[in-house]
Every structure is written in C-alpha cells, then in structure tokens.
Structure 1
Amino acid sequence: MNRWYHSWVAAVRIARRDAWRFKGRSSLVLAMIALPILGVSAADVTLRSAELSTEQKMERGLGAADARMSDPGMGGVPILQTPDGVSSAPAKDYGEGVWPEGRGDIRAAFPAGAKTLKDSNGSGKLRTGHGLLNTVIHELDASDPMTRGMMTLEEGRFPDKAGEVAATTHFLEAGGLKVGSTVTARGLDTEYRIVGSYELPDALKTDEVLAPPGTFLAPLDKALKADDLPGTETSSTYLVSVGGDGFTWNMVKKANSQGITVISRAVALNPPADSEVPLYQKDGWSNYQQSAASEAAALAVVATVVGLAMLEICLLAGPAFAVGARRSARQLGLVGANGGDRRHIRAIVLSGGLVIGVAAAVVGTVLGLLLTFALRPLLEDYMGQRFGSFDVRPLELLGIGLLAVLTGLLAAIVPAITSSRQSVLASLTGRRGVRRSSRVLPVIGLIAAGLGITITLYGATATDNVAVVAGGSALAELGIVALTPALVGLFGRLGGWLPLSPRLALRDAVRNRGRTAPAVAAVLAAVAGTVAVATYTASDDVQQRAAYEARLPHGVVTVLNGEGGGRDVPAIRAAVQKHFPVDVRADVDRIVVGNAGCAPYSDAKGCGRYEIFTPKDNRCALWAEGTPGSKELTPAERRKLSKDWRCEENGQYAEYDVLVADEKLLSVLAVDDPAAFSALKSGKAVSFDRRNVEKGQVGIKLITDTDQADLMAQKGKDAPGEIKSFPVHQAPRSATAYGVKVILPAPAAKAAGLITAPVGAYFSTEELPSSTQQQKLEAALDALGTDGGLYVEKGYTGDNSVVLLALAIFAGLVTIGAAGIATGLAQTDAEPDLKTLAAVGAPPRVRRTLSGFQCGVVAAMGVALGSAAGVLPAIGLRLTEERQQLKWYEEALDAGMGGVNDAPYVPIVVPWETLAALLVAVPVGAALLAALVTRSRTAVARRAAG
C-alpha cells in the first residue's frame, strides 16, 4: 500500500514538472479540456441562478399577499384545481352537454376578515414619441404593502393620484419617452404624466403602463364611461391577505366550491399529497404526470451532449498526450532503465492527464464563475428576467470539475498503454520501430457502421420511434470513427498523383495514424453533426415553403379598416398611394347589415351579419354529421366524402369573403380569366367557390337577429334571413382569390338594396415596398389616428438560411481548430524531419507549405468523412416524419376531415451550398491559416549521437 502511494506521488511529480517544462503543449491540452468545462460551469450557474425558488416565485407573483384569487369563467359552479392553481376543471363532468361559462361571484369567496386588493389588466394603443404602441394596461394601487416585490422601481415614484402613470423601462425605451413625459391613449383625449419607471423582474421586455384603479379600464360589471379606454378587455384578480397560517389548502378547496381558483403561498411552499388533490383523482386527468417523462427526456439529451463533448475532447487531447509521451520517451526509458516497470510508465503518462485535468477543472470552473458574474446583466436581458440570486452549487461544480479530470485521464489511457509497451532500448535511442495498425479495429468499425445503418433505416421505415433512428445513427458514426485509421490509409494511396509538399503531408499523416486518426475523427464528429442538422433544416425549409399559403400575390398590399363606418378609408387609401410604389389600386367595400354605422361582426343592437348561402345539394355531408337527424358515417364513407368536391377546403382565409369591387380587384389578385373581367363589367358577380352557385345564381343571406341565428346554428338549422340572389360567373378552379369567395359589382349591390360601406383597398406594387417606405406609411396612418389594417405579402421568409450559415461557420471553426491542433502536433512530432529537409537544402518555403498541407489534409479527410456520415441521421429522421405524417393523413381521411386531399410532402434535400463550403472553403482556409502562422526557417540541429 505504502509502495503504491509513493510510486503515484512520484509519477504525479514527474508529470507536473513535465507539464511545466513544455508549457506550450500543456496549455494547448488544458485549453481543449477547460473550454467545455468553462461553458458547462457557466451554464450551470446561469440556469441555477435563473431558476427561482418557490418563495421567489410567490414574491414576484403575489408580492406580500397570501394568495391571488381569480375567476376562471365557469359560471361560479364548483371546480377542482391543481395545487399551483394553473389548471382547473368543473367538479361535475358535463360530457356532451353544455359546459358552464360566465362570471362567478369572486367577492363572495373572500375569507372572512381578509384584506383584498384588486389587480386589473387590459391592453390598448398608447401614443409615444414614435407613434402608436400596443401596451399592457395595469391598474393597481402600488402604494399598498401587498404589492411589495411584484415590481422594482427604477426611477421616480409610483403614481398615487389621477393623471399620473408609471411605465416599464422597456416601454420608455421603445416609445422614445422618459420620466416626466406625457402619454395619451388612442381614443382618449386625456394626457397622463409619467412619474416613474419600473421593471417586472419576470418580464423585463414587457411594454406596460401602471395606473391607479379606474384610470383606463372599465370594470367588467359596469358600463363603459366616456373616459374609459375603448376596445379593450379587462381581466381582474384579487390579492388577498388573511394572516395567521396563510391561505391553507382547505381554504383553497372552499373557494373552489364557489367556482374560484386560488394561487396560495402557503400551499406552494407546503403542497398537499397527490391523494389529497381531488382533481388528480378525476378520471382522465394525467397532465400532472407528464413532467417526469419530460424531465427524463431532458436528462437524456443533456447526457448525450455531455457524452459527445467528452468523446470529441478525448479525440483531440489524446494525440497531444501521445506526442507528449513520445517527446518524453527518453525520460520514460530512463525510468525503465532504473528499475521501473510498465505500470510506472503508465502511471507517469496517466498522471499527465490527471495533472492537466485538475488544472483544466480549476481554470475552467473559476473562469466560468467570473464570466457568468460579469455577463449577468446581459444574460438577464437576453432571458428577459432577473436572476433570483447568484446561485453557486459547490457539489454540481465539483461534479463538472471531476468530468474534466475524467476526460484528461481517458485521453491519456491509449498513450499510456502504448508508451508502457515500448522497450527501454527503443525509448533511449528514439527509434520507433515498425508499427502495424490494428486489424481488429477496422473490422469492428465496419460491423458497427453496417449495423448502425441497418438500425437507422429500420427505425425510419418500420417504426415511429425517433430514438431508434438516433441510436442507429450514433452507432454508425462510432463505426466510422473506428474505421478512420483504415480510411486514412486509403487516402494515402492518392499521394502518387500529388506534388512534393502535399505528397509529404499525406504520407506523414498516413505514417502517423495514431496522431492523425483521432484528429480526423474529431473533425468527422463535428462536421457530421453539422451536416445532419443542415440537411434536416434544409429539407424542412423546402417543406415549409411548399406548405406556405400566401394570403395575397407576392408584393400585393391591403388596407382593411371598418372602424367608424369607413370614414377614414379614403384618407388611408390616399396615404398608401402616396408612400408605396403602387401600380394598380382596387377600392373595395363591405356589406353592412342593419344600421349603416355598424362595425364588422358587431353584435350591437340593430346590427346583423351576412353569409353566403350554400344550396343544400352542394353542402358537404361531413359538416352535418353530429347534428340532430343526421346519420353516423363510417370511416369508409368519411374517406370517400373527404375527396368529394363539396368537402374541399383550400385553407385560405380572408377577413371578408364577399367584397364589393370592380374588375381592378381581379388584376391585383392576378386572376387570369377574361370571362370574369367581362362579367364584372357587365354587372354580374364572380364566384370562386362552386359550392355556392346554383343555376347561375349566388345567394347572400342577410341575418338581422344574430342571437336567433346563433341559437339556430347550435341546433343545426339554418338561421332565418332574406336571401339576395345575383347572376354569377363561376371562375375556373385554377383561379384563386385568396379567400375571397364572391366579388360583387357595385351596381348589382345597389340594385339589390344592399347597404355598403368603404372598407379599404388592394394594391399591386411595382416592387416590394422597402422598410423605409413602410415606416413612413405607418407614421402617416398614425397621423390619421388609425393603424389602417395594413398587410404586405412578402412571400415565404424562413430563418433557415441564417441557421445554415451559422452551422457552416461553427463546423468550419471546429474543423480548423481540430486540424490546427493536429498540425501543431505534427510539427512537434516531425521536427527532426523538418530539420533534415533544411539540412539537405530544401527552400525555406517548403516548411511553411508542408505545414499548410498537413493541416489541409486532416481537414479535408475529416470533412469528407463527416459529410457522408452526417447525411444518414437526417435521412432517417425525415423518413420517420414522413411515416408519421402519412399516418395522420390516413387518420384524417378516416375521420372525414376536409382539406386533406393531398398526401403529405416530406422532401429530403441535401444543402449542397453548405457541403461545398465545408468541403472546399474549410480545408483551404485551414491550410492557408496554418501556412501563415508557421515559421519558414528553423535552426539546423546536429544529429544526436547514437
């Protein structure tokens, strides 16, 4: 025992001195291990600091109150809730019946003697220094002690009287305002002075204004006053303070019996057992059990990422230890000559990994803590919330540090075994002898690669389990890693056709496979992951582009605004015409049912609605299923009906399915049907949905009593109303009006006695409006006091191009780094060869050229193998998705859902641009960088005595 201890102490001392002697190589290995530790430790501290404790969550949500009581809108019937108050359901199961809705009496549920404070929220558009900004309106008496901790005052004070408001710092920044500025609400004339700024610790990027109760928002149970903000819905909760033991679980259940939900501090800090929660005992309630599965999945992802990171570090650090052991071969030989055996040699090399690992753990952890502390404001701003505290957990950081030590030891295992097997004579003389590559490892790699490919294809074509595809892909990649030494040997056969420098670089890489293969494998691993994600992302982008349904033709602009009976529409049309490069302008009107001033879809007294009448013979039987008197359809019947023309749905939506306009609208909508132009000019309507046409006529039903109409719809009957019929031209199926189903000419609408009102216009543009033009138009619309309902069809815009660029840059950096490490080790390992070249008269540039090609060769081999390996998992995942979507498609057909006429389109697209950048730019860049940083001259050393 004592002898073992002293031998390891001596080994560690030798390794420490060796690491200090060769500072450059030691720093390189330390940096490779410390960088991931820095990232993981910084991430751990960040996540733990951002993870609020229960008490901190309650303080931010409840302030100093004991509970928050709210009405879930279930009509006051008894309910059941989860302990956290997030989920609730009626205590009674209403099944297929009418579920309760409406307001409950929250005041009746207050505990006796409790102190309460109303907390109201709404939203509205406030005028700022730049225009109109949609803002959260928060009405609360901030001077009440119960609000302490909910908001953090930054400047000034909270409002305490009428005419004063406070605003979040984000609102002030976005609106170009400051404390002391005034703000007004759209629709109100009153000005309010901003007396303070504050922030919401859980939502730093929220645009919010805090005002005393009754400033903007109308109570739910009272009529709208002249000084209330119009067009906003108010939601109110109550902060409650009861004292004593707080708001207990029994008090929560009592409030539930009166239809009120409660978030309680006491219950959150001391939650009841699941057996004491009535909601959890209800049949079919299993949502609360899903957290364990999600946590397990998250842990599996973290374990996978950590494992891959360790593998890549070992692949990169292993050659460094091997070169270090080779440079110290004479010293290790002296240990053997003085009586040391193989285990002492292994202990010295492993101690090198231990020393570097411990140093990397300390350096990485300390730098991670300092980096997190320094970047805390930026991290909080990025996440949009303040940390609860700077939470440092020593045991977790110790575990991360042990990971660094373990990585260092794993990276040194193979060099330790190799060094211990070398004879003392070979170590002292520096002769490497004849080294044969393993014949077993390529066989194992070939078997693993074949088995992994088989598992991946099986998982993609025969199962819906993504884990099978991921596991098979990982096994195939590990198999290719094991095959890397043999594949490097195959690359060496290309040297006969290369010039001198690249031929020397390639032969050096092949001759020193123990150094080259791990670096190539590390590049392979990085590039394979990048190519897999890039292939999947590019394929998904093509799928999303094909599935994108444009609301309008590309470059077409619409403004639709029905406020005030369309009084602002002429000015809005002129503003668009002035600021945008308009080609054709098509003015459109809407149909008004009832009073001429009725807003669209208004349920006010005297207002109604219209609908396009669909003849009974043209109605889809699927839509009638489930209504009184209809028969139950079989899956085969539903599948058949889903293909029926009467059940077709194109998925396009327009705010108004009937527009009153002329033939200019057809031009803007790119409808290429000369007969439709002729029809509108002659006073006939144009229909784009053949289900609405019968005997050359289309009907529009005017429904004046909306309450009666809704009641009839619930019973599955047609709502009563007068039907106005119009002669119509049915456009061909190839023509689309982007959700508009009928276009009525104005003379026909007037002749039928329809009331119309201006609603906006459609514009075709000569070119897509620029951002500057759109900002100017928004300012002009703001000057008119309206947002105009502006929409510009810009076509499909995906973010995947940015993702692909980022992936290519990431893979390039990792590849250049790994290739650079391998090149540095090659230069260290091949220093005698380079000195020999200089001794025989090789030009100085040969050294620089050789270094560049050594780096480029490693990068090229790794990128080529990684590109081939990375396509496999992407193909597997896409095939799995195709199976899942086909399954859903078949289920949709059996259910008789409309709009499922086309089978799912799941393409597999290889991002050739990304692959070209990796295959060409990265190796060339690595080679040029290595050549630039390499010295062209070196001292010629005398040959050492044998």
Structure 2
Amino acid sequence: MTTWYHSWRAAIRIARRDAWRSKGRSFLVLAMIALPILGVSAADLTVRSAELSTEQSLERTLGAADAQLSDPHMGGTPLLQSPDGTNYAPATDLKEDEPWPDGATDLGKALPSGTKSLTDSTGSAKLRTAHGLLNTEIRELRSTDPMAAGIMTLISGRFPKGADEVAATTHFLESSGLTVGSTVAARGLDREYTVVGSYELPDALTSDQVNAVPGALLDPLDKALAADDLPGTGKSTSYLVSVSGGFTWNMVQQANAKGVKVVSRAVQLDPPADADVPLYQSENWGGGYEESTGAKAAALAAVGTVVGLAMLEICLLAGPAFAVGARRSRRQLGLVGANGGDRRHIRAIVLAGGLVIGFVAAVVGTVLGLVLTFALRPLLEEYIGARFGSFDIRPLELLGIGLLAVITGLLAAIVPAVTASRQTVLASLTGRRGVRRSSRVLPVIGLIAVALGAAIALYGSLYSDQFIIVAGGSAIAELGVVALTPALVGLFGRTGRWLPLSPRLALRDAVRNRGRTAPAVAAVLAAVAGTVAVATYTASSDAQGAAEYEAQLPRGGVSLVVDAPGGRDVAQARAAVQRYLPVDLRADVDRITVGKKQCTMAYSGSEDCGRYEVVVPKQNECPLWVALPGGKDPAEKFSVAQRRALAKDWRCRQGNGGIYADFGVLVGDAKLLKALAIDDPAAVRALADGRTVSFDKRNVDRNGTIGIRLVTDTKAADKATEQGKPAPGTVKTFPAHQAPESVASYGVSMIVPPAAAKSADLTTVPYGAYFMTDQAPTTEQRQKLDAELNSSGADAMLHIEEGYTSENNIVLLALTVFAGLITVGAAGIATGLAQADAEADLKTLAAVGAPPRVRRTLSGFQCGVVAAMGVVLGSAAGVLPAVGLRLTQERQQLKWYEKALDEGWGGALSPPHIPVVVPWETLAALLVAVPVGAALLAALVTRSRGALARRDPA
C-alpha cells in the first residue's frame, strides 16, 4: 500500500512539473477539457436557478394569499382536479358523443365563510402609444393590497390607487415609447389614464401589461366596444382568498363540487396521496407520456448519448496532445526505466498527466462557470424571460461534472500511456522508434461495425418508423469508420507518389506515425460527420419546405383587409399603403353583407348579421363532404376503395391556398386580375361584360351560372344544415366565366363585378385592396406603414408576399464554422506532434541544403493532410444517417397519407414529398476551405528556422 501511494505521488509530481514546463501544450489540453465543463456547469447553474421551488412558484401566482379560485368555464358542473390544479375533468364520466360542459361559473358561491378575497381580472385591448396602437394585457388587481405582495415587482414609481391611474410593465413602456408620468388611452375609450409606476412580472419579463384598480378600465372599455359592435376585452376573473388555517384539500373538493377550480398553497406544500385524489381514479384521467418512465428513460438516454459523444470527441482531440508530451519526455521516461521503474510506473506518469490536467480543468471550468453565470445572470434572466428564484448551487452536481473532466483526462491519456510503456529503455534513451506494426484486428472490427451499422440503419430506413434505429445504426457505422482510420490513412499514403516534395513528405510522415495521426483524423471525422449529417438533413428539410410553401400572393404582391363595420377605416388604410409602399398597381375590393347591420366578419351569422353562401350544384358536390342528418360522417357510407377513388375526383380536391378573402368571394374589377398576376383575356372581357369570374368549377352549374344564397335567419339555416337540408334564403344568380384550372387565384374563388352586384341588389361595403409593388419594400417603409395603420385605429390585416425564406442558412453557417474549428484544432495538435517527432528529419533536410521555408511548408502540409483526410472520411460517413432519417420520415408521412386516403381526407392533402438534398456548398467549404485554411494557419505560426541543438552523447 505504501509503495503504491509513493509511486503515484511521485508520478503526479513529475506530471505536474512536466505540465508546467510545457505550458503551451498543457493550456491547449486544459482548454479542450475545461470549455465543455464550463458550459455544462453554467447550464446546470442556470437550470437549477431558473427552477422555482413550490414556495417561490406559489408566491408569484398567489402572492400572500392562501388560494386562487378560478372559473374553468364548465357551467358550474362539478369537477375533479389534481392537487396542483393544472388538470381537471367533469366529476361524471362523459358519454362518447356527449360534449364537454361549457358556460360561466359563479365563483362567489364557492368562497368559504369568513374568508378575505381579492378579485384579479384580466383582459386585452389595443392601447394608444407614442408609436400607434399596441395590443396589451390589462390586469385589474389591487396591487397595493398585502395579499397581492409578490405577484408584481415594483421597479419605479408606485402602484395605482385611483380610477384614473395605471402602472405598466417595463417591457410595455419600452415598446410603447412611454414613461412613468405619461398618459395612455384605450382604443374606443375617451378616458385617459396616467402611468404612475412601472413593474415587472417575475415569470413573464417580456409581457406587455398594464395594471389598474378593479373596475377602472375593463368594464368601461367593454361597454364602449359593445356600443360600436366590436369584440370585447375577453375579461376573465379569479379570486385570491385568505382563510384562517389555510385552504385544505377538503375545502378544494367542496369548491370543485360547485364547479370551481382551486390552486391552494396548503395543498401544494403538503399534497394528498394519489389514492385520495378522485381525479386519478376517474376514467377521464390519463397520465401523460412526459411523466412516464419511458419519457424519463428517453431523456436520460439522450443526455447520456450527448455526454458520451462529447467525451469521445475530447479524448480523440486530447489523446494526441498527451502523446506529444510522452514523445518529448521519452528520455525522462527512459531514465525512470533505467533506474528500476517498470512499465506500470511509466504508465502512471503519463496517466498522472491526464489526472493533473483533468483536475485543473475541472476546477477552472467549474469556477469560470460559477463566475460567468453570476455575472451574466441579468442577461440570462432576460433571455429566458423570467427571474431566477435564487442562485442555486448544487455541490454534488458540480462535483459530478468536475469528476467527468478528470475521467476524460484519464481516458485521453490511456493510449499514450500504454504506447510509452511499451518502448524499451534503450529506444527511449537513444530516441529510436523501432519497427512498428499496425494492428490487423482493428480494421476487421471496423469493417464488421460498418457493415452491421449500415444494415441496422438500412433496416430502420426501410422497415421501421423508429428514428432511434437509424441513429443507432449510423453511430455504429461511424465508430467502425473510426476503427478503420489507421488502415484508411495507409491507403491515403499511396497517393503520395504523385505529389511534390513537401506534401509527399507530410503524407509519408502521417502514414509512418499512424498512432498520432489516426486519433486526430478520427476527431476531425467525428466532427465533420456530425456536421454533414445535420447539414444534409437541414438542407433536405429546407428543400421540402420550399416545395410545400404555398404563396399567399404573387411575388411582390400586397393584400390589405380591414374587418370593420360598414367598411370603416378602409379608405384611410388603402391610402396609407399606397403612400408608404412602392405601389405599382392598386385594386380595391368590396365584400357582401347580409342582415340588419353592416357587421364585421367576426359577427357574421349573429342575430343582427346574416351571411351568404355559394350554392354548389348537386352534381358538383363532393360525396365525402355532403352533410348528413344527425351530424354523421358522410365518409362512412363508402368503402376504403371508394374513398381512395373519390380522393382523385376533381370535386373533392382542395383549392389552392391564399389569404383570408371573405369566403373567397370578392367584389372587384379587372385590376384585381392584374394584382393576382392572372393573364386571362377572357376573364377581363367577362368582368367588363358584367359576368362573374369563377376560379373553382364546382361553383358553376350546367347553365354557366353561379348562385349566391343570402341567409338572414341564421338559426333556421343552422338547423337545416344539421338536418342535411339547404339553408333557407334568397338565391341570386350570376352568369359566370370559368377560368382555366391552371390559374393560381391565391384563395379567391370568384370575382363579382360591381355592376353585377348592384343589379342583383347586393349590399356591399369596402373591404380592402390588393397591390403590386415594383420593388421589395424596405424595413423603414414597413415600419412607417405599420405605425400609420396603428395610429389610424384600423383593424387591418396586411400581408406582403416575399416568397419562401429559408431559416436554416445561419444553421449551416454555424455548423461549418464549428466543424472548421474542430478540424483546425485537431490538425494543429497532430502538427505539433509531427514537429516533435520530425525534428531530426528537419535537421537532416537543413543539413542537405533544404531552404528554411521547407520547415514552414512541411508543417503546413502536415496540418492540411490530417484535415483533408478527416474531412473526406467524415463527409462520406455523415451522409448515411441523414439519408436514413429522411427515408424513415418519408415512410412515416406516407403512412399518414395512406391513412388519410382511407378515411376520405386524401383530396385535401398532397402526396408527401421528402427530398434528399446534399448541401454541396457546405461540403465544398469543408473539403476545400477548411484543409487549406488549416494548412495556411499552421504554416504561418511555424518558425522557418529551427533551434540549434548539439548531438546527444552516446
């Protein structure tokens, strides 16, 4: 025991001294191991600090109250709930066709006697700001009450006390351009409110919210909006209650019996057993996958895979660096052997180097993680949008993360330790390398792993829907390629005969010293393979998105829709678009209104607002869409084969997409055809002649006419529809021109000319306009237009068609940069090792008359050779998992499409298109730019003249 202790103590002292003497190499390895530890420890601190304890979470929800009573909108039906109140269901089991209970609940009936309560109401409205209008949440809570302490954090000023005062979140003040002391008003309300303070919601830092005293803002605003036939604020109210002894589980169940949902502080701090929770024994309850053992196992497997790959990458990168140290210390190790040390002592010295650097990396990475997380805490809180509960340090978790660094350092030093211990004392003292033979077993294992992994990935791609099978097979195949790396390096060496002197020497040196070349190549291979796999999958998904993208308008088109009663604000909005955007063409459109009032589309179909329907002739109706009495599914009448056949029927095909255009019926002229980029002279003549232009041939009957039914009694129409009968109403008939099927109408099913609408006594109101621009609008132009529309108060929906925009370009760039950094790092380590090994060769070159630049050129080519081999092998290995995952995704989507065909919904879908696209630009950057860049960098940092050295004594 004493011998073991003293030998390891001496080994650690030698390793510490050697690490201090070789500061550059030690710093490089330390940085490799410490950077991941820094990231993981910072992530652990951030996650743990962001996690709230039960007490902290309740403080932000309940303040100082004992419970919160809220309305689940189940009409007072008794319910069952979970102890935390997040899940609930009716107390009685619902039948298969029975609808979910609906309606408001009287919360006051559930208040226990002797309780103190505080109302908390929320709604939303558009508030006038310095820039225009901003959709804002309005909260009426007496925030000065001690019961509300903790829900809001006051930043400046004070909370409101009077009915003409409000406080606002800091994010709202930043977005609106207002400050404490400014006045704010709601659209539709003449009253102004003074901003007396700013606050923040600890759980929602980016929330746009204003706080007022109860009854000061929401009720007056709802009345004003109702007078203008506008939607209300959507007010909802809950109660914060305080009761002596706390709100117990029995009290929660009593409130549930009255249809009220409760969040109780006492229950969450001391929850009941699952057996005492009726919801968990109800048929309406089903546990989520997120809480299952399978989900936890899947999460642990994912974390373990990422950690394992990270450790492998570090070991592959750091291993050659430890080999550099072993090479440079071979004389010292030889002296250890000459003085009685055996192989285990030499292994201990090299392993102690990994232990020392791993320990220092653990300490440095953990300390830096603590410091950076603490320093960046405000930025992290802003990024996640919530304040930390506390700066939560878990010593055991940080110790485990640090232990991972020590283990990684030891693993990285294993291979160099074994290699150094196998050298004879004579070879170590004289510097002779001896004859080295590469392993013949490792390539065989690699071939078997490649074949097995490829077979598994192929099986997962063609016969299974599980992505994990493809990923697992690809990982096995990639490990097989790593095992084959030494043999593949030898194959690369055969190309040296066609190369000039310097690259030939570099390639020959890499082949002769595969022990240091193979790990560096494998590290580059792993990094590039992952990059190529993700890049290929991302590029393929991007191509799929471009193919599936449905343009809402022609490229450069602009649509404006103003959903207001009587077409209010439409003229002002049209003029604003034409004033701020580079408009080349403007086509005004109107909409049809039915009923006593000229209502908005949101109110269409109410008692005072009728609706209209396009009459589809019987022979043009899709049998799968015909309503049946009793609400039965019409597809049930047909067999699977008939449903598949009907999916190809032109009557059952879904129309092309587009913007929301008032059921696809617009009142307009020939300018609208130009705005939609429709080149159909016959359609232009039809509109000039007063005929309707149809883009959906299902609407045109055999006589070439279109019918529009005006429905005034919406209740009778709904009842008739439920019985499978036509809705009662007056039908207006229009002669029609059917446009070719190839024409893209962007959601417009028909255009009714104004003259035809007037002759049919249809009531129309302005609805919006379509525009064509001669150039793409700039950001400044769009901001000015948005401000103008907001300040006008128009409820406008604006769309500017910019075509498909890829969001993955930055991802591909980041992946390329990441792979480049890993490649340069690995190649640099291999180059440093090559320089240490080839010092004698370089001196020989200098002795025979080679110019000084040969040293720099040879160093650059040594780095470039390693980078090129790793990039080529990694590019080939990375395509396999991406192709496998895409094929698996294709089979999965094809299966869903087949199911949709069987159920009668195939006409609304298109067959899946899952292309496989290789990102040639990314591959070109990896194959050319990265090796060339690595070689140039190595050449630049290498001295052209070596240091003079005297001959070693015999």
Q: Under TM normalisation by the shorter chain, which class is it? A: over 0.9
Tell me the residue number matched to 2:697: 690
Contact 1:218 / 1:225 at 8 angstroms: preserved in 2? no
Please report how far the alpha carbon of residue 835 of structure 1 lies from its aligned counterpart in structure 2 after TM superposition.
3.2
Query: CA offsets, 1:696-748, max 9 Å, x none?
Result: 11111111122333333344433221111111111121113211112101111
Cα distance in structure 2, aligned partners of 1:82 and 1:552 = 48
Distance 1:133 1:874, change over 3 A: same
Tell me the residue number matched to 1:814: 822
Contact 1:588 / 1:760 at 8 angstroms: preserved in 2? yes
Match among 661, 664, 673 for residue 668 of structure 2:
661
Distance 1:772 1:223, change over 3 A: closer
Distance 1:225 1:618, change over 3 A: closer
Contact 1:651 / 1:899 at 8 angstroms: preserved in 2? no
Please list, as runs of the form range in 1=range in 2, the aligned pairs for 1:878-897 lying within 5 A after superposition.
878-897=886-905
Please report how far the alpha carbon of residue 906 of structure 1 lies from its aligned counterpart in structure 2 after TM superposition.
0.4
Query: CA offsets, 1:370-395, max 9 Å, x none?
Result: 11111111111111111111111010
Cα distance in structure 1, aligned partners of 2:271 and 2:113 = 23
Please report how far the alpha carbon of residue 596 of structure 1 lies from its aligned counterpart in structure 2 after TM superposition.
5.2
Contact 1:74 / 1:102 at 8 angstroms: preserved in 2? yes
Contact 1:216 / 1:228 at 8 angstroms: preserved in 2? no
Of 85-94 and 758-767, more deviation after overlay is shown by 85-94
TM-score (norm 2): 0.96
Tell me the residue number matched to 1:652: 657
Q: What letter is aligned with 2:689?
A: S
Contact 2:589 / 2:666 at 8 angstroms: preserved in 1? yes
Distance 1:228 1:704, change over 3 A: closer
Matched, 1:803 2:811: yes
Tell me the residue number matched to 2:778: 770
Cα distance in structure 2, aligned partners of 1:285 and 1:833 = 76
Cα distance in structure 2, aligned partners of 1:223 and 1:778 = 25
Please report how far the alpha carbon of residue 782 of structure 1 lies from its aligned counterpart in structure 2 after TM superposition.
3.2
Contact 1:562 / 1:759 at 8 angstroms: preserved in 2? yes
Tell me the residue number matched to 1:619: 621
Cα distance in structure 1, aligned partners of 2:44 and 2:343 = 40
Tell me the residue number matched to 2:684: 677
Tell me the residue number matched to 2:608: 606
Cα distance in structure 2, aligned partners of 1:404 and 1:804 = 30
Please list, as runs of the form range in 1=range in 2, the aligned pairs for 1:262-411 lying within 5 A after superposition.
262-283=262-283, 285-292=285-292, 293-411=294-412
Please report how far the alpha carbon of residue 589 of structure 1 lies from its aligned counterpart in structure 2 after TM superposition.
0.6
Matched, 1:415 2:422: no
Cα distance in structure 1, aligned partners of 2:544 and 2:925 = 23
Distance 1:269 1:713, change over 3 A: farther
Matched, 1:436 2:437: yes
Classify the secondary structure of the residue corresponding to 1:917.
helix
Tell me the residue number matched to 2:639: 634
Query: CA offsets, 1:728-769, max 9 Å, x none?
Result: 111121113211112101111111111011111111111222
Please report how far the alpha carbon of residue 280 of structure 1 lies from its aligned counterpart in structure 2 after TM superposition.
2.2
Distance 1:236 1:891, change over 3 A: same
**Cα RMSD between the aligned structures?**
2.0
Classify the secondary structure of the residue corresponding to 1:218.
helix
Of 173-182 and 442-451, more deviation after overlay is shown by 173-182
Cα distance in structure 1, aligned partners of 2:628 and 2:461 = 38
Distance 1:835 1:808, change over 3 A: same
Q: What letter is aligned with 1:236?
A: T
Match among 800, 808, 825 for residue 792 of structure 1:
800
Of 254-263 and 149-158, more deviation after overlay is shown by 254-263
Contact 2:89 / 2:285 at 8 angstroms: preserved in 1? no
Q: What letter is aligned with 2:437?
A: R
Contact 1:217 / 1:229 at 8 angstroms: preserved in 2? no
Classify the secondary structure of the residue corresponding to 2:731.
strand
Cα distance in structure 1, aligned partners of 2:723 and 2:153 = 53
Contact 1:662 / 1:746 at 8 angstroms: preserved in 2? yes
Q: What letter is aligned with 1:655?
A: A
Q: What letter is aligned with 2:683?
A: A
Classify the secondary structure of the residue corresponding to 1:539.
helix
Contact 1:71 / 1:261 at 8 angstroms: preserved in 2? yes
Please report how far the alpha carbon of residue 267 of structure 1 lies from its aligned counterpart in structure 2 after TM superposition.
2.1
Please list, as runs of the form range in 1=range in 2, the aligned pairs for 1:721-736 lying within 5 A after superposition.
721-736=729-744
Cα distance in structure 2, aligned partners of 1:102 and 1:22 = 76
Cα distance in structure 1, aligned partners of 2:168 and 2:512 = 70
Contact 1:573 / 1:761 at 8 angstroms: preserved in 2? yes
Distance 1:222 1:663, change over 3 A: closer
Please list, as runs of the form range in 1=range in 2, the aligned pairs for 1:357-756 lying within 5 A after superposition.
357-595=358-596, 597-602=598-603, 603=605, 605-624=607-626, 627-628=629-630, 632-650=637-655, 652-653=657-658, 654-656=660-662, 657-695=664-702, 696-756=704-764
Cα distance in structure 1, aligned partners of 2:525 and 2:609 = 69
Please report how far the alpha carbon of residue 901 of structure 1 lies from its aligned counterpart in structure 2 after TM superposition.
5.3
Please report how far the alpha carbon of residue 350 of structure 1 lies from its aligned counterpart in structure 2 after TM superposition.
1.3
Of 529-538 and 505-514, more deviation after overlay is shown by 505-514
Classify the secondary structure of the residue corresponding to 2:402.
helix
Tell me the residue number matched to 1:131: 132
Cα distance in structure 1, aligned partners of 2:230 and 2:612 = 29
Contact 2:528 / 2:875 at 8 angstroms: preserved in 1? yes
Distance 1:775 1:932, change over 3 A: same
Cα distance in structure 1, aligned partners of 2:820 and 2:735 = 65
Cα distance in structure 2, aligned partners of 1:717 and 1:242 = 57
Classify the secondary structure of the residue corresponding to 1:937.
coil
Contact 1:218 / 1:229 at 8 angstroms: preserved in 2? no
Q: What letter is aligned with 1:237?
A: S
Matched, 1:29 2:29: yes
TM-score (norm 1): 0.97
Cα distance in structure 1, aligned partners of 2:718 and 2:647 = 27
Matched, 1:924 2:926: no
Q: What letter is aligned with 2:612?
A: Y
Please report how far the alpha carbon of residue 787 of structure 1 lies from its aligned counterpart in structure 2 after TM superposition.
4.7
Match among 844, 849, 855 for residue 852 of structure 2:
844
Please list, as runs of the form range in 1=range in 2, the aligned pairs for 1:183-202 lying within 5 A after superposition.
183-202=184-203
Please report how far the alpha carbon of residue 365 of structure 1 lies from its aligned counterpart in structure 2 after TM superposition.
0.9
Matched, 1:75 2:83: no
Classify the secondary structure of the residue corresponding to 1:729.
strand
Matched, 1:865 2:866: no
**Unaligned 5+ residue runs, structure 1?**
none
Please report how far the alpha carbon of residue 792 of structure 1 lies from its aligned counterpart in structure 2 after TM superposition.
0.9
Please report how far the alpha carbon of residue 222 of structure 1 lies from its aligned counterpart in structure 2 after TM superposition.
8.2
Cα distance in structure 1, aligned partners of 2:898 and 2:744 = 27
Classify the secondary structure of the residue corresponding to 2:241.
strand
Matched, 1:16 2:16: yes
**Unaligned 5+ residue runs, structure 2?**
none
Please report how far the alpha carbon of residue 522 of structure 1 lies from its aligned counterpart in structure 2 after TM superposition.
0.6
Of 467-476 and 297-306, more deviation after overlay is shown by 297-306
Contact 1:185 / 1:229 at 8 angstroms: preserved in 2? no
Distance 1:702 1:623, change over 3 A: same
Query: CA offsets, 1:863-908, max 9 Å, x none?
Result: 1111111111100100000010010011000010153453210000
Please report how far the alpha carbon of residue 934 of structure 1 lies from its aligned counterpart in structure 2 after TM superposition.
1.6
Classify the secondary structure of the residue corresponding to 2:707.
strand
Contact 1:218 / 1:224 at 8 angstroms: preserved in 2? no
Cα distance in structure 2, aligned partners of 1:625 and 1:825 = 78
Contact 1:215 / 1:228 at 8 angstroms: preserved in 2? no
Please report how far the alpha carbon of residue 75 of structure 1 lies from its aligned counterpart in structure 2 after TM superposition.
1.2
Contact 1:835 / 1:939 at 8 angstroms: preserved in 2? no
Cα distance in structure 2, aligned partners of 1:32 and 1:918 = 22
